[in-house]
Every structure is written in C-alpha cells, then in structure tokens.
Chain A
Amino acid sequence: MPPPEPSSAVDASVPPRGHGPLARGEARVAWALLAPTLLIVATVVVLPLLAIFWISVKPVQLSDLRAPELVVREDLRGSPEAVGDEGVWRFRLRNSSPDREIADVSFEDVIPVALKLGELPEACAASGSTLTCSYGDVPGGWRERIQIPITVAAELDGSVKDTLPVITATASSVLTDGTFTFENFARVFDSDEFIGVMGVTLFYTVFGTIGAIVMGLFAALLLDRSFKGQGILRGLYLFPYVAPVIAVAFAWIILFDPFSGSANALLIRMGVTDEAINFFGQKPLALISVTVFEIWRYFPLSFLFILARMQSIPTDIYEAADMDGASPFQQFAWLSLPQLLGILSVLFLLRFIWTFNKFDDIFLLTGGNAGTRTLTVNVYEQAFAISNIGAGAAVAVVIFVCLLLFSAFFFRFISREEGL
C-alpha cells in the first residue's frame, strides 16, 4: 500500500470515476469473449425454459408432436391397357390425425396425355393438363375417395404414378395455435397425488441431503490424516459418485432383488429376517431405500468439499488446544465445526437443490412406483407414461418456481456466507 497522499494530490489516490476509453475497450473484449457462451446457453437453456411455460398452458398430447398430414394415394383401377379400355383413376385422401383439422386442403396432378377423363367429381376441375381438387378445411379423421372414370385414348406409355399429386394444405399444430387451457395446472394441483408427490419430494430431498452431508463429514474426518493408502481409500470412496448412475443403480437393484438378490440371501442366512424383503417395491420401504441410495451416491461429493476445507484449517490451533488440555471431541466441537460451518451450509443448500432436481436415480431404481414419485419423476410420468405433454410441462413449471425460491434464498445466503 502506498502511503496516503497529501490532500492537494487527492486526485491521484482516488481511482478515476466513470468509464474511460480503456475501460470501454476492456468491456467490449469481455462481452466478445462471453458472446458464444451466452448465445448457446440462451438457445439451449433459456428458450426451453420459456417453451415450458408456453407448453404448460397448451392442451398438448404426445401424439400431437407429429403434425397432422394429408395423405394421398393414387392408382388406376380396372387394368386399362389397350386403346379404348375403360377404367377408374382413383385418389384416396386421408387426414393422418384423428382429431386435428387441416386447412385449405387441395391437390394438383398432371393428367396423363393418354387418358381421357369422364365426369369429374364436384370438388375437382380440369384445366389444360392439370387436375385440381380442393376441399377447404377438413376435420380430423377425414377420409375421401375420388373416382374419375377414364378412357384410354392413346398408347399407355407408362404408369399414371409417374407424376405424383402435389398437395397444398396448412396444418396447424397445437403447439403454435391459439388454444390455451388451464386444465394442465388444474390436473396437477387437483389430484390427491399432488400432496403425496410433494411429501415424497420433501422427504427424499431433506433426508437425502442431510444424510449425504453427515456421511460426507464422517468420511472426511477419516481421511483427514496422512497414512499409507490414504490416496487409494480416497479414490475408492469417490467411486459411487464417479461411476455411471445407470450402472450403480442396476447393481443395487440386483443386489437387493427380493427373489435372487444377495442382500436378501445374506439377511436370511444371518437370521435377521425370515422372508425376503422387497426393498424397492414396498410402500414405505422403497422411499427409504431410494433415499439411502441417494446418500450412498452423493456422500463422496460432500466429503470432497469438506475434506478440502478441513485441510486448509491451520494445524497450530489444534496444537494450542492440545496444550490447553482440550480432548479430541472438544476440539472437534469447538474448533473444527465452527470452521466447517460455512462450507456445510453452502453444501446443504447446493445439495438440497440438486437432490430436489434429481431424476435418474429414482427413475432407474423404482420408476416412481411404490410411493417414490417425486416431482421430477412426475414430469416424466405425466408427459410420457400418460402421454400428456401439457401436464408434464405444468409439473415442470411447478418445479421451476420452487427452484427460483430456493435460488433466491441461496444467493442471499451464499453472498453473505462466502462473499460471492
């Protein structure tokens, strides 16, 4: 620090205010460097988030994702071959969607030179070598068959299908049209399920978070000393977190299988239980099991964070405490814990939000059955199992709002705690 300047030179000690050209240039460079990230994040995160709000007030089913199409099939019936043969030129039209209308339906086809057309149906008109049929708006499930009598006037040189009919039709999609509904939200909130789902989510989140942090704290205490093999143990204890979730989830399912799982065989042989326990299929037990899995899978993360913080605590305070006769438990309670409180609370908030967001684990272990359906699993359940995309989106909106609340709390807290 330079010594304070005398008051006459006050300008030198106060940094210049406002933005000079240099600062503006620096800001320009910064935004240029950030632009690609901002752009891609906006497309892949912000857009979908906005889309979720839009979809949540639309009556969208899974089947609506494929826009309705006008299907036209064309054939020549009566096998006319020689000049003078009579036959029927037939078109079959169909709206591919059973319930969505298609607007301004019409099609055009080239009339083969060799054919002489008979009487045309009402919707069709021939001008020159072009046949045009128009139907206006057609409802969902609409079908039409057009038969045009023909006579072969010249040598048939090829199939009639050489020219395909050209279709004009405007299909509106539920995703983009003006129909709105609040039924999705009504469904989500009205059902008795909702309270249950919220309860399950809270249980899973709260106990999963606390459990993972407590276990992480123990593991960190174990490894906060140097001994031979410390590195190996630390690596081993991180395995649950590093391994693919699908691999460990299936390993747990097979280990705890009620019919042929080793855990049940072991428990029965040790005399703990008489008959096999269905860990992931019984009502209250399944929720406890998936929470235990969550704790098992994420204690490594907490332990890593806590260990890093522990190793940055200076050792001399413990030496001083030892000299003063503080016992190991006293040292833990009065020296270590206060030092760890900051990281523990940050971890709690982070893990709380992440556990709240967790989907894969429960989906793989129980599929949301046996009383383990959390909010995130409910999104999938509504959107894909019941095929009601709109309802799924409504649940997603509920999640997002919860999350905004958590985040607001988180940032208030973390800015105080960690000076972020």
Chain B
Amino acid sequence: MSSPASSPVSSPVSSPAGSPAAFLRHGTVTAALLGAAWLITLSVTVAVAMSFATGAAFRPNLLWSLVWGATAGVALLHLRYTSVIAAALIAATLWEPLSPMPMQATPTVLVIGAGCLIVGFVWAMHNTLAGLGTGANNRHTFEAAVIRFLTGFGYLFFTAIVAIPFWVMLMTSFKNRAELVANPLDFSLDLSKGADLFRSYEELFTQFNFGTYLANSFLISVATVLLTLLFAIPGAYAVARLRFSGRAAFSRGILLIYMVPMIVLALPIYIAFSVTGLRNSIAGILMIYPVTTIPVALYMLQGYFRGLPAEVEEAGLMDGLNRLQVIWKITLPLSLPALASVSLYVFMIAWNEFLLAFMLLDDPSTFTLTRGIASLDSSEVPRQHLMAGSVIATVPVMALFLGLERFMTRGLAAGSVKG
C-alpha cells in the first residue's frame, strides 16, 4: 500500500535479534538479496529488450547475475564509490566468462547493452536502498525496501507483458516474408525501405477491401452508440428517478441479461436470420448490437443519474416542464461526462465485436473489420497482412481511448463499482 516511506518509528513487535527475520533485516543481507534480485530481473529484461531491438543474441546468466548482484548490493550499501562500482560491473558484464548477461553482438551493441544493464541496476539499487541502514533494520525500513524492489519489478513486468504482444503486432506488419523467416527475433525497423514499410497496409486497402471494412465498422459502431443511448437514457432515468413497483427487480434483471453468454443467443439468432434472410445485412447486425450494449449502458447511466441532485429536476417540473423535457433540458446537460464515457465504452464493444459478425456476415461487402481480419486467417495470406489488419483495427479504438482515457476509466468505474 502507499504509505509515506518515512516514519522510522521502531516497530513494537520487533522479533528478537538472531531470529531468521532479524537476520534477513540486517542491512548487508537485505542489500545482497535485493541486489541479486535486481540484477537477475534487469539482465533478463535487458536481454529480452535488446534481442527484440537488435535481433542479436543475449543470454542472461542467472548464476553470475546472482553473484554480481549480491556483491554489488553489499558494496553499494557500504561504500560510497558508486561510479567505481558501476565501472567494475560494466567490465564484468563485458568479460564473457563471468558476465551476468553474455552477448554475441557488435561492439557498439555490446557497450550499449552493458551500459543499459548496469546504469539501470545502479539507479534501481540507489533508490531501493535509500533509507536502509547498514546494521540491523526495523521491520518498517526493511519492508519499505522490499516493496520498492517489488514496485520496480512490477512496473517492468506489467509493462513487458502488455507491450510485447502489441510491439510484435506492430513490427511484424512492417516486415516482409523473407525478413520474418530470416530472424523471427529481429524487430528493428529498416528505415531505408521507406514507403515500402507500409506495403502490407497498402495491399490490404487496395486488394483486400479494408477501406470498406473500416467504413462498415465505423458506421455500425456509431449507429450502435446512438441507438443504445436512445434506448438507455429514458430507461436509466426511469430506474434512477421514478418510483414504481418492480424497480428493484428491473435493476437486477438488467444485470442478468448482461450475464447471458453471447454464443447461446447467437445460435437462435443465426437460425432466425438464416430463415428470414437478414444474414449478410448491416441492418441485421444493427438489430442485435444495441441490445448487447443497452444493459451495460443503462446500468452505468442509472448509477450516474442517481448521483445528480433531484432538486434541480423537481424545480424544472414545478416550472411546467414534462418528464421528457426535464431529461432533455436538465438531466442530459448535467450528465455529459457520463454520456461520453458510456458512448466510448459502447463504441469499443461494437468495434471489437467478433462472434456475431463472424457468424452472421459472409458477404465481403458487409464485413466489419473484425470479420475482415478473420477472413485473412488462411495459409494463403501472409501473416504480416494479418498483423497489419490487426493494427488497423486496434489503432482507432486505442487513439479514442487514450485521448479520452479519463472519461473511460471514470465511466467504467462509476458504472461497475458501487460505493
């Protein structure tokens, strides 16, 4: 938890000296352990990052990482010659038999790799060991240091697992088949190719109709947002503001619909659409998508409407407005942020929807982007095209999301978490 890492008030429940816990909390031991943990973490991280960046061979050596990390940890805690220690570590990294991260690469890459590793290590240790005493430490100081390591580790870990798949997606789309086969690890960008880098994208738009798919997706998503709001706003208002018997049951019923799996609905919808000939039509899709989003939208909006002061609306009623006018002139202007986040969320759901588009659309002129990408998944289409298609589908929703991130997170949280 976030606690101010100050207050070195000695713990009233400190374990007696000589116990295993007290041994771990001794400054030298803590520093050695944290140093080893940091160098192992960083050598793996830097090795993976450099491999992806240059395509050269990096192999973290866990044993030497442990030894060097522990030694350097102790040294950094007790000695003040940080730059001397860093220089020694860089030398050790570059000398292959004892290196925590042996590399087979050009000298420039070697130096960059070693530099990144050691500078990162020294900086991380400097922050982690801040406040740690050289002798026995109390529990608070010890745990604070451990948490500083865990936090740093967590940032690296989560950033890596999130970023790597997207990085691979983006970089693969810039490659051609020969480059992909030659070295699957090489994700460096060959800028000398110039516009040729975007060849997959160009082919998708010229030969694979991605322009149409993009337009279809956009049209369907925007229409879904509008239809959803049209239905959900009055519904949410009624649930939030008006008293009627069955209100609680309705409130729950909304959530219940939210839990019906799409595949269970998709089967009868497929049959009905096959019989009535609504398959392969955007109108058919637009009959289904809003219904999948109305429950979420209604739930999110009613939460927001409840938080609005009822007095303003009552004043409006007293002044002779009817309910619909109250909603239009008072409630909606007050809930613009909520409407923005609901719209964004619904747009995202409609844009990303795959199952129904996959089952109900067979005619390429009605394909949405997700359906279009699914049609690329064959052995005849090179996979850089598949990845370029994925990038095309991902970028708009990401851009929208990053631009309006505040609405998005706040709306999601408001809609889903009570209290």
Q: List 5 A-B contacts (CB under 8 A).
A: A238-B405, A243-B166, A244-B373, A244-B390, A393-B268
Quick check: which of A133-141, A149-157, A189-197, A324-332 contacts chain B, the rest being far away?
A: A324-332
On B, residues with C-beta under 8 Å from A are: 1-4, 7, 9-13, 47-48, 51-52, 57-60, 139-140, 142-144, 147, 151, 154-155, 158-159, 161-166, 168-169, 172, 180-181, 183-185, 187, 230-232, 234-235, 237-239, 242-245, 247, 250-252, 256-257, 259-265, 267-269, 271-272, 274-275, 287-288, 290-291, 294-295, 298, 323, 348, 351-352, 354-355, 369-370, 373-374, 377, 383, 386-387, 389-391, 393-394, 397-398, 401-402, 405, 408-409, 412-413, 416-419
Q: Give the 8 A-B residue pairs with the shortest CB-CB distance, closest first.
A: A357-B261, A247-B390, A308-B413, A27-B244, A48-B268, A30-B242, A33-B234, A51-B268
Who on chain B is nearest to A349 by CB?
A: B259
Evaluate whether A247 and B393 lie within 8 angstroms (CB atoms) in the complex, with A34-B238, A44-B287, A270-B60 already known: yes
Q: CB of A207 within 8 A of chain B?
A: no
A419 and B248 CA atoms in complex are apart in Å by 11
Tell me which residues across on chain B come within 8 A of A231, comparing CB atoms.
405
On A, residues with C-beta under 8 Å from B are: 23, 26-27, 29-31, 33-34, 36-37, 40-41, 44-45, 47-49, 51-52, 55, 65-67, 175, 218-219, 221-222, 224-225, 231, 233-240, 242-248, 250-252, 254-255, 260-262, 264-266, 269-271, 296, 304-305, 307-309, 312, 318-319, 321-325, 327-329, 331-332, 335-336, 343, 353-354, 356-357, 359-360, 363-364, 376, 379-380, 383, 389, 392-393, 396, 399-400, 403, 406-407, 410-411, 418-420
Contact of A359 with B251 in the complex, beta carbons under 8 Å: no
Contact of A246 with B263 in the complex, beta carbons under 8 Å: no
Contact of A418 with B418 in the complex, beta carbons under 8 Å: yes
Instruction: Identify B51's interface contact among A29, A67, A266, CB under 8 A.
Output: A266
Contact of B294 with A41 in the complex, beta carbons under 8 Å: yes
Q: How far is the CB of B337 from chain A (nearest CB, A)?
A: 15
Contact of B261 with A244 in the complex, beta carbons under 8 Å: no
A243 and B402 CA atoms in complex are apart in Å by 12
Who on chain B is nearest to A244 by CB?
A: B352
Instruction: Identify B354's interface contact among A237, A244, A304, CB under 8 A.
Output: A244
Q: How far is the CB of A240 from chain B (nearest CB, A)?
A: 6
Who on chain A is nearest to B164 by CB?
A: A255
- Give the dominant DSSP class at B's interface: helix
Instruction: Identify A33's interface contact among B168, B235, B393, CB under 8 A.
Output: B235
B154, B247, B267 interface centre (most CB from chain A within 10 Å): B267
A244 and B214 CA atoms in complex are apart in Å by 14
Contact of B1 with A44 in the complex, beta carbons under 8 Å: no
Contact of A396 with B57 in the complex, beta carbons under 8 Å: no
Contact of B387 with A250 in the complex, beta carbons under 8 Å: yes
Instruction: Identify B355's interface contact among A304, A359, A407, CB under 8 A.
Output: A359
Contact of B259 with A45 in the complex, beta carbons under 8 Å: no
A270 and B58 CA atoms in complex are apart in Å by 7
Contact of A336 with B1 in the complex, beta carbons under 8 Å: yes
Instruction: Identify A383's interface contact among B4, B159, B267, CB under 8 A.
Output: B267
Contact of A221 with B1 in the complex, beta carbons under 8 Å: yes
Tell me which residues across on chain B come within 8 A of A245, comparing CB atoms.
352, 354
Who on chain A is nearest to B154 by CB?
A: A222
Tell me which residues across on chain B come within 8 A of A327, comparing CB atoms.
11, 139-140, 142-143
Tell me which residues across on chain A come within 8 A of B387, comparing CB atoms.
250-251, 254
Contact of A261 with B184 in the complex, beta carbons under 8 Å: yes
